[in-house]
Each structure stands twice: as C-alpha cells, then as structure tokens.
Amino acid sequence: MLNPTAGPSGAPVPTSARLSLTWIVVLLAMVLLVAWAGQWSARRESAFQADALRRSIDVYALGLRGEAAKFVYLPFTVAQHPDVIAALASPGDTAMRQRANRYLEDVNRRAGSDALYVLDTRGNTLIASNWNQPLTFVGQNYGNRPYFIDAVSGGSGHFYGIGRTTGEPGLFLSAPLRSGTSIVGVVAVKVSLLEIQQTWGKVRDPVMLADARGIFFLGSVPSWMYQSTRAVDATERARIAQHATYGPRDNFPVLPWDVERTEAEPGYLLATKVDGIARRFMALDESLPNLGWTLTVMADYGPVTAARNRTWTVGALIAGLLLLGTMYWRLRERRYAEQRVARQELELRVEDRTRELGQAHSFRKAMEDSLLVGMRARDLKGKILYVNPAFCEMTGYRADELVGKSPPYIYWHPDDLKKHRRESDAVLAGNAAPTGFESRLRHRDGHDVYTMVYTAPLIDHNGEHSGWMSSVVDISEQKMAELRQRKDSEKLQHMQRLASLGELAATLAHELGQPLMALNNFAGAAKANASQGRLALLAGNLDDVAAQAKRAGDIVRSTQVWARPHLRGAESCDLNDIVTSVLAMVGAEIRHHQVRVSTRLDLAQPCVSGVRILLEQVLVNLVLNSLQAMQVVAVELRELEISTDRQDDTVRISVADRGPGVASDVMARVFDPYFTTKPEGTGLGLNICRRIVVENHQGALEFENRPDGGAVFVLVLKSAQ
C-alpha cells in the first residue's frame, strides 16, 4: 500500500490540510457557479423584462402618438370652414358666431375631442364648442399659451397643460386660421389624455409621461405627478408659470429615486417607495420627439430578484445535493476502498497463512520424517491417531495399518502382553513414569525391538487434553551391547587380572632377585671356604643359604593365588584373610613405592559370601591405585591404611591413602569405563572393581576424599551371618 502522507518527492503533505484545501476550492467554485447562475438567470429575466418593456413602451408610444395624431388635423380642417372664417371676420355677427359655435360643437362631439375653439389674433376666444356650457372658453383670453403663440405666428402648435378655465389637463393642438395670406385667428382643440391615463392605471406596473423638463404630468402613479426626474431651474419655472402650463403650480420637486444605470442596457434600475412600500423597478425611457415628451415604462424588478433568488436557491440546493452526493460517494468509495483493502489484506493474510501453514506442514513433515525417534499419538481411549515414519520403521507396519487401532497392538511382544497391557493402562490413566519405561516390541519380521517409551499428554489447540503423545526410542543396540558387555565382563575381569599380574611380575622379580643373589653369593663363599678348609665359615654360609632359600619360597608362595586356574563359586571369605593375603601379594609393590602400611582389622572376623579371587582382585586394584596415587607426595607422607569393620549387616574394607584425593571434576566419572587419569591406565580397573562388587556380590564400592588429605575407597559387602 502506498503511504498517502508521503508523496513521491518525499515531502509529506498533511492529508487533512490538502483535503480541506480541495474542499475549500470546490466550495468556492460552487459558490461562484451558483452566484454566476443567479446572476445569469437575473440577467436573463431582466432581458426578458427589458424586451417586454420595449414592446409595451412601443404600444404605449403608439397609443400616445395616435391620440395626438388623431386630432392634429382637426384645427386645420376647422380653419378651412367658411362659417368659422365668416364668424371670425365679423365678430359682431351673433348669428354667425352662433352658427360657428354650433358647428364647432358638432365637430367636437363627432371627433370626440374635449373642446374645439377659435381665438382671434389677440388670443381672445370667439367661438367655442362649449359655448353653451358653464365653463365656456368664449370670452377667455389664451394669448399667453404657447400653442396660441406658435399658431398665430404661422406654425402649428401643440401644448399640454392644465386648462385655465376647466382646470383639467389636456393636450392642446392649434393651427392658424388664414384669410388669404394673413392670419386672422387660431383654431385650437383640446384633447383629454385622461382616458389613456386611466388605461395605464389598469396596468400593474407604472407608466409615466414626462415633458421636456422631466416633469411627470401623466401617469399611473398619482404620487409622482408633477414631480420631476431632475431639478427644474428658476427660468423654466418662470416659463411654466407664464404659460400656466400646470395651472398655479410652480414647485416641481425631484423624485426620491435611486437610479442605477448600466452602459450596455438601454433601461435602468430604480429603487423608490410607492405608497410607503420599497420597490425596485426596471425602467425604460422612450422619447417622443414630435411631442417633446418622454415616456417611461417600468416593470417590477421583483421577478428578476425572485428569479435570481430562485436560481440561487435551486443552485444552492443542487450544489448542496451535489456536495452531499459527493460526500456520500466519497464515503462510499472510501468504504469500498477500505473494504477492498481489507479484502486484499485478508486475501494476503489468507495467502500468507496458507503459505505459513504449508511451510509449517512441510517443516513438520520433514522433521517427523527425519526423526529417528518413533512418535505415536493416541486418543484418551488408546486409539492410535498418528504414527511417524520412524515408528513404522521400528515396528515394520505401515501407518495405515496402525492408525485407528486400539490395544492390544499388533507390535506388542507376545511374551510381554501382560506387561504391555499394564503399561498401556498406566499411560492412559496418566500414571506413566516421566522417566519413561522400557518396552519390548515385536517387529513384523519377527525380531525383537527394545525401546524406551516416554509419554506426554497431547493438548489440542483449545487447551483440552485430547490424548497422549509417546516418543519411542529404539534402544535395541544399547540393549544388545549391554548383553554383549555382560558376556564379555568375565573375560574382561580375567584380562584385568592378567594385567595386574603383569604389573606385579616386575616387582616380584626384583623381590625374588635379592634372596636368589644372596643365595648365589653364599654358595660362592661356601665353595671358597670349603676349598680352603674353613669349615666354621662354611657351615655359617650353608645356614645362610638355607635361610635365603626359605625367603625365596615365601615370596613365591604369596603369588600362588594368581596361579588359580578357575573361578570357584561363592564361598565364605574372611575379609581379614583377604586383606592379609593381598598385602602379601602386593608387599613388593608397597616396598617399591616406599609406602608405610597400617592395618586395623576387625577382631570379629568379618565374613562374606563371595568369590574370593574376585574380592582379592578388587582389593589389589584399590591398593595399587592408592600406591600410584601417593607417588606424587613426599616419601615420608606415604601411608596406606587398610581396615575392616562391621556395620549392622554389612562388612566393609576401607583402603585409605594420603595421595592428592579425587579431583572434584572427575568424581562423577571415576567408575566410567575407559576413564583414567593415569598416562598408561586402561581406565578399566575401577570399572571392573565396581562391577565385581555390585554385580557379583550385590555390594557397593564407594569413595570419598579424606578431610586431612587423600582418598578412601570403601568396599561394602553384605555380611555372611
């Protein structure tokens, strides 16, 4: 697995920091996207609105123009009428005027205009359609009105203002009335725009009409009327007052609009309060050049904001959902990844475990196959669960012939069936000796197999005792060797005896040499004395000869024990006798080693039943060992103490010397065969002694170091009494 905290460059990047950075970037991107989407949707909505505004402004403008254009020819037409001209030409002719009045009344009614009237060149109204109404224009002077001024000077006039007589606003259109080439009067028509205003009022969004100075004079929002979009200076105010455009009003406050324009867009945004409620509008101006007005159409900006908010909400929702989805997805991915990793780890573990098991199995198999020790596992009832190749080899049966069998097993020795059954029961009862027991098996081909069986409880993986595991060691070789050795033992003892004899022979020769040479010398002297007739000396010489011959005879007699040809059976032996005869045998050797001997013999004549020559052999060996041990100490210290005594029903011979004693590191091996501390020793002496004592006489051969120096070997034998 890669380590996520360490990149390839080796610079560790904290996971959480990197992750949160990513998250921040993603969140930021999302916020920006949502914001942009909101803005886009708002722009789109506002574009829609702008389109709608443009369309509606066209309609409104068309309506306005139409209203104006409908009546623009009326003054010209009326100015052509003969009755009107006649009435103007002769102002005193009442009938004429009356005819004209009726004519104007009729036209006015048919045209649907507000009022139709004729002025003289001074501005006095001579004829009017409303001649018979209370608020008639007749007799009124409108000489200050711009439409009059324009018309009397030869042009056509149009003017919007509040009627001086009626106080109602209206559009005034005028045309000069010519008589020949000279202008003799002015025909004017007043058109009310209130119908249009009413139509506008039905529309939800404001529609306003401003004059060239920016003062709203018509519109669907009453509170904005006669207020200005920009400041109206004093000159203009004076002109308005002069023309009495808006009646007596001379103050046109600037509207409290918060206007926001963008270069690219034809429209603009404005924020204001309508009836005390804060509102935002998108507004579009359309100037009407013929009339000198500006038409302002507005649309509520709410839908745009709403669209933006909606988009934002929807975007935020989508983003949130996306986020949640991503988080969920990530979580799921992480869980999947974890599961995948866990699965892979599991697989790896399984693989490892399988391999380990395989290895362990092959290792175990190799181990079991290479074992020379037979292994046999049995359940609690004695059924064989397992045997290894060594065990099969040992018994000659295949594993499948043994596994599943219960006692008595086929390899049990037929002569030892009872013993096998007893031991098997003991093992299954958990009473097996921890040191193992010896067991004789019968190989398939019939030969005997001697084994040592060691048993341990078989504990399964749950810690429960499920059976018994025995290791079976083939000790046939040792057993055979033991038997052979036992057979060889006597031969060996004999050889040892011969060896001891050889050792003694040299000393014996030396010892015999003395009397023999003395004998020779005396004989020589006797011969000389005889020939010279010195009889007294001759007799002395002969006595000496006899004495030396006896001495030589004594020495020879002491060696007769060695000449005994065969071992006799057990007889009653007096240990004191044995000590005495052994001392006689090794006397020469003792002298040769310059050792003093002291004996302390039990007066009660300790007797044992034994083979005398073997006991003598043991004692000779012990004495010779002691003599040799004392060679390394000063002559005056060399002392051999031999004692016999009795303890309860045992009798003992102790051989104590003043040698260096037995070194502690060889104590355990003193009786081992072939173990020796002497340069020319065979290592068999003490081994044979012990076997003579233990095996032939059921006694014991012990030793210890004496506290004041030297060693003591004690021969312990059962008393014959």
Partner 1 sequence: MNLSNLIVYVVDDDAAMRESTASLLASRGYQVQLFDSGETFLAQADIRRCGVVILDRHMGPAALTGDQVFDKLKRQASPLVVLFLSGHGNIAVAVDVTKRGAFNWLEKTLTGADQLLEATAAALVQAASIGDMQQARQKAAKLWDTLTPREMEVAREMRHGTRTKLIARKLVCGARAVETHRLRIRDKLNVGNPAELDRFMRDNDL
- Following DSSP, what letter does each residue of 586-605 receive, concatenated? THHHHHHTT-EEEEE--TT-
Q: Which of 4, 112, 167, 524 binds partner 1 (CB under 8 A)?
A: 524
- Candidate ranges 278-286, 364-372, 441-449, 511-519; the one touching partner 1 (CB under 8 A): 511-519
User: Is 522 an interacting residue with respect to partner 1 (CB under 8 A)?
Assistant: yes
User: Is 598 an interacting residue with respect to partner 1 (CB under 8 A)?
Assistant: no
Q: Which of 140, 199, 521, 628 binds partner 1 (CB under 8 A)?
A: 521
User: Is 559 an interacting residue with respect to partner 1 (CB under 8 A)?
Assistant: no
Sheet of 277-288: strands edge to edge?
216-219, 207-210, 293-300, 277-288, 268-274, 258-261
- Candidate ranges 179-187, 354-362, 411-419, 592-600; the one touching partner 1 (CB under 8 A): 592-600
Nearest-angstrom CA–CA distance, 43 and 672: 116
Helix (H) or strand (E) holding 467: strand 465-474
- Count Cα neighbours of 113 within 13 Å in the Cβ-side half-sphere: 31
User: Is 630 an interacting residue with respect to partner 1 (CB under 8 A)?
Assistant: no
Instruction: State which residue, 194 or 547, has the beta carbon closest to partner 1.
Output: 547
Q: Which of 34, 173, 191, 519 binds partner 1 (CB under 8 A)?
A: 519
- Candidate ranges 344-352, 516-524, 565-573, 654-662; the one touching partner 1 (CB under 8 A): 516-524
User: Is 636 an interacting residue with respect to partner 1 (CB under 8 A)?
Assistant: yes
Q: Which of 86, 162, 518, 716 binds partner 1 (CB under 8 A)?
A: 518
Instruction: State which residue, 136 or 529, has the beta carbon closest to partner 1.
Output: 529
* SS3 readout for 200-234: HHHCCCCEEEECCCCEEEEECCHHHCCCECCCCCH
User: Is 535 an interacting residue with respect to partner 1 (CB under 8 A)?
Assistant: no
Q: Which of 38, 206, 515, 685 binds partner 1 (CB under 8 A)?
A: 515
Question: What residues contact residue 709 under an 8 Å CB cut-off, 6+ apart?
Answer: 658, 660, 661
User: Is 710 an interacting residue with respect to partner 1 (CB under 8 A)?
Assistant: no
Q: Which of 130, 227, 541, 576 binds partner 1 (CB under 8 A)?
A: 541
CB of 436 to partner 1, least distance (A): 54
CB of 550 to partner 1, least distance (A): 11
Contact positions with partner 1 (CB under 8 A) in 470-509: 506, 509
Q: What are phi and psi of 13, to 5 degrees?
A: -110, 120
Angle of the 535-558 helix axis to the 575-585 helix axis, nearest 10: 120
- The three-state secondary structure class of 703 is strand
- Candidate ranges 147-155, 183-191, 198-206, 520-528; the one touching partner 1 (CB under 8 A): 520-528
Burial class (CB in 10 A: 0-12, 13-18, 19+), 91: middle
Work out whether strand 437-442 and strand 207-210 pair parallel, antiparallel, or are unpaired: unpaired
637-656 mask for partner 1 (x: CB under 8 A)?
-x------------------
Is the C-alpha dihedral spanning 613, 614, 619, 624 positive or negative?
positive
Residue whose pair of structure tokens reads 């399984």 in the numeric block: 350
CB of 584 to partner 1, least distance (A): 18
Token pair in block for residue 458:
């078989």
Q: Which of 42, 177, 595, 608 binds partner 1 (CB under 8 A)?
A: 595
Instruction: State which residue, 387 or 519, has the beta carbon closest to partner 1.
Output: 519
Instruction: State which residue, 183 or 549, has the beta carbon closest to partner 1.
Output: 549
Nearest-angstrom CA–CA distance, 140 and 165: 8
Work out whether strand 596-600 and strand 639-647 pair parallel, antiparallel, or are unpaired: parallel
Nearest-angstrom CA–CA distance, 471 and 452: 8
CB of 557 to partner 1, least distance (A): 18
Instruction: State which residue, 361 or 557, has the beta carbon closest to partner 1.
Output: 557
Residue type at position 99: R
CA-wise closest residue to 217 among 126, 288, 313: 288
Nearest-angstrom CA–CA distance, 620 and 415: 44
Nearest-angstrom CA–CA distance, 548 and 539: 14
Token pair in block for residue 588:
């020469």
User: Is 532 an interacting residue with respect to partner 1 (CB under 8 A)?
Assistant: yes
Nearest-angstrom CA–CA distance, 101 and 111: 15
CB of 478 to partner 1, least distance (A): 44
Instruction: State which residue, 140 or 521, has the beta carbon closest to partner 1.
Output: 521
- Candidate ranges 27-35, 113-121, 537-545, 669-677; the one touching partner 1 (CB under 8 A): 537-545
Instruction: State which residue, 121 or 521, has the beta carbon closest to partner 1.
Output: 521
Instruction: State which residue, 433 or 509, has the beta carbon closest to partner 1.
Output: 509
Token pair in block for residue 643:
């004692």
User: Is 658 an interacting residue with respect to partner 1 (CB under 8 A)?
Assistant: no
Contact 168, 194 (CB under 8 A): yes
> Of how many residues is the chain composed?
721
User: Is 529 an interacting residue with respect to partner 1 (CB under 8 A)?
Assistant: yes
CB of 676 to partner 1, least distance (A): 24
Nearest-angstrom CA–CA distance, 337 and 340: 5
Contact 702, 692 (CB under 8 A): no
Instruction: State which residue, 49 or 529, has the beta carbon closest to partner 1.
Output: 529
Instruction: State which residue, 349 or 550, has the beta carbon closest to partner 1.
Output: 550
User: Is 597 an interacting residue with respect to partner 1 (CB under 8 A)?
Assistant: no
Instruction: State which residue, 399 or 506, has the beta carbon closest to partner 1.
Output: 506
Please give the DSSP secondary-structure letter assigned to residue 284. Answer: E
Is the C-alpha dihedral spanning 697, 699, 703, 708 positive or negative?
negative
User: Is 592 an interacting residue with respect to partner 1 (CB under 8 A)?
Assistant: yes
Nearest-angstrom CA–CA distance, 624 and 437: 40
CA dihedral 572, 575, 579, 584 (to 10 degrees): -20
Residue whose pair of structure tokens reads 């005396």 in the numeric block: 522
Instruction: State which residue, 394 or 595, has the beta carbon closest to partner 1.
Output: 595
Helix (H) or strand (E) holding 456: strand 448-459
Contact 98, 84 (CB under 8 A): no
395-424 mask for partner 1 (x: CB under 8 A)?
------------------------------
User: Is 591 an interacting residue with respect to partner 1 (CB under 8 A)?
Assistant: yes
- Candidate ranges 172-180, 291-299, 532-540, 662-670; the one touching partner 1 (CB under 8 A): 532-540
User: Is 520 an interacting residue with respect to partner 1 (CB under 8 A)?
Assistant: yes
Nearest-angstrom CA–CA distance, 69 and 63: 10
- Candidate ranges 158-166, 415-423, 478-486, 633-641; the one touching partner 1 (CB under 8 A): 633-641
Instruction: State which residue, 550 or 678, has the beta carbon closest to partner 1.
Output: 550
CB of 635 to partner 1, least distance (A): 5
User: Is 612 an interacting residue with respect to partner 1 (CB under 8 A)?
Assistant: no
User: Is 513 an interacting residue with respect to partner 1 (CB under 8 A)?
Assistant: yes
User: Is 516 an interacting residue with respect to partner 1 (CB under 8 A)?
Assistant: yes
Q: Which of 496, 548, 625, 676 binds partner 1 (CB under 8 A)?
A: 548
User: Is 523 an interacting residue with respect to partner 1 (CB under 8 A)?
Assistant: yes
Nearest-angstrom CA–CA distance, 243 and 142: 9
User: Is 680 an interacting residue with respect to partner 1 (CB under 8 A)?
Assistant: no
CB of 437 to partner 1, least distance (A): 56
Instruction: State which residue, 465 or 591, has the beta carbon closest to partner 1.
Output: 591
- Following DSSP, what letter does each residue of 491-511 receive, concatenated? HHHHHHHHHHHHHHHHHHHHH
Contact 151, 157 (CB under 8 A): yes
Q: What are phi and psi of 28, to 5 degrees?
A: -60, -45
Q: Which of 45, 114, 211, 511 binds partner 1 (CB under 8 A)?
A: 511
Tell me which residues touch partner 1 (CB under 8 A). Answer: 506, 509-525, 527-529, 532, 534, 537, 540-541, 544, 547-548, 551, 591-592, 594-596, 635-636, 638
